[in-house]
Structure 1
Amino acid sequence: MERGNSILDQREKIISFIKIRGPSLPIHISQHLKVDTLLASAMLAELLSDKRLKLSNLRVGNSPVYYLVGQEFQLENFYQYLPDKEKETFELLRSKQILKDSDQLPAVRVALRSIRDFAFSFQYNDQLYWRFIKVNEENASELIQKTQATQVKPVQIEIPVVKKILLEHIQKAKELSISKNVQNEIVQDATPAEPIVIKEKQKLVSLIPERKAQESIFKTPVKTKKEKGKSEFVSKVYEFFESNNLKLVKEISSKKKEFMGIINVENNGKFDSYICIAKEKKSVSDKDLMKHLQTGQKENLPVLFLSNGETSKKAVEWLDYLGNIIIYRKLE
């Protein structure tokens, strides 16, 4: 009970710390609480699961940034950690506030879809636009209207010089007493075939077909039949999938004594995704759990950990505490 109260106290300290400091990394929490980084990450994962904290899409190194609801604007302090092209796109969007998707270069369009902490898409007159995080959709629509109102539409203008030349020819014809037929001929020669038109310069936009979105992993399950060439341990993992009606949607890695992939679990007609990590081990420690918990955090997925080993006393305590964030099942 004392241990439980201590952990709860630590969690409240984390919330108070982030309220004061703003968006933070696990290392900041670790230093503040004077605990191991793995333990700090585990407590952050629990607060994330309880929806008391939010997780950034951007990464500082390999770590996401944790923040409270209402601190979204403060993520701007971390934009320098974005890759170069995404950083340039962030600065462009922050400067312009809104961007029309079809007017952008392909690299910018890709980057806009990557900086999800700062760029938000919306439709206006059936056109896709992007707005900066500090601009709401209503203000973004007003900005589009103002931009369109100030744009100069192509107009037809007859250049005055043409009229002047035409009049000079007619005047000379009169002075020389040229016959009516000759005058008409001169007028026709002097009259331009078409009025000279000045049009607004149009941008050349390279149109590249949108890459078709990848099909949802829920719709493309991979059959979990035992395959040739699999080690005895990995075959047991596949048998576990079959016997528990789990759908393997992506195999990330497969070795003689290790396996990693993404699976779908059906739950009341819906599918929940887990990252499955399987390792052949004689025993499972709390450090093993923390290591795999970090892997799950990188993928933003809960963890299903499979092994043939026995769990230590500390590992059992942590599994009970972490709940559905990481689930352990022993392979027989």
Structure 2
Amino acid sequence: MSQPEEENVSLDWFTSSQLEPTDTVSVLEAKTFISSVYQTLDEEIFDPAFKEEERDQQLQELLNTADTQANWSRAEITQQVSNELQKLSVSHLRLLDPVEGERLFRIFEQEPLPEETPEPAIAAEMRGDIGILRVESFIVPLITKAELDRAKAQLTQAKVILIDVRRNGGGYGSSVSYLVEDIIGPNKVLWRDRTREGLQMQEPYVFQGYFDDAVNLKAKAEIELGEQHPYIEWQTRSEAQIDPRPHFVLIDDQCGSACDLFAAVIKDHGTAQLLGIRTMGALLGGDAFRLNWPGYALIAPTMQVVSPKGHTIEGVGVPPDIEIPECANGGSQCLEKALEIVNAAGQ
């Protein structure tokens, strides 16, 4: 589901805001803002019945709280709402103020501040016969097909590939496509997603391939495809070539969203072994929507995503094939333990 063009959330929505977190607002204005948050969530969430009772209860409690004092600051109200939304334990549900919104959308729109210029999220190194491919994000431009190919080219002498996606918080699903296709091969199901319009549909639209990230149209193309087809099955390209080398994937509990999806694809197809600990389990597609305060927006979960075999990952995560307890809490010995397992498997 997408918004009308004039209501799209962009970087300008945040940077043009004149509102300050210290501004004082009346009880009525506080209640109006609270209601706008939950009305937006009700209208845009992928399934209207999903945690509906909890959402209604939260709204009433917040409205009651607003009556407990004569005035509020914007920061106080947004913190109250954010605290309640967090209790729902739903991924891609987040209230953005002008500062946080600007920071996030500068990444999405490739306009970082000079002091915040992001480093590429891909790196490669050799450890003996093992090629390690580190992928820290699936957000374009932090990851691109060109950068991924350059990193892979550094591992041509490797006999085994270890893909390290620890602490990868996600990004675009189609970025997953070009990382995983040489592991699972051509014409394979990657995942299925549907918006609320697709809940009653029996047969998905099938899309093979991925979008050209070189021209920064990935997000727009994914949104437009979702507008046209509310139920989509994503597949690898028919011309995809399998890399015959053994592959391992290192995961942890900070691997979420598109990283959850990557792990789920690997798990379902069984073409590589997952090492580490269970992933975050934060796999719903989201979109941003304007609220009634200029510069404030709500990221709402607008799309349900399931694995190739139809497994729900949201709130569950993806378990490893071989557990490495040292990977919990960002353990410093995680990678070394994983390398020991990979080395032992090759002997």
Considering fraction of residues, name the structure with more helix: 1
TM-score scaled by length of structure 2:
0.20
TM-score scaled by length of structure 1:
0.20
Higher relative contact order (CA 8 A, sep 6+): 2
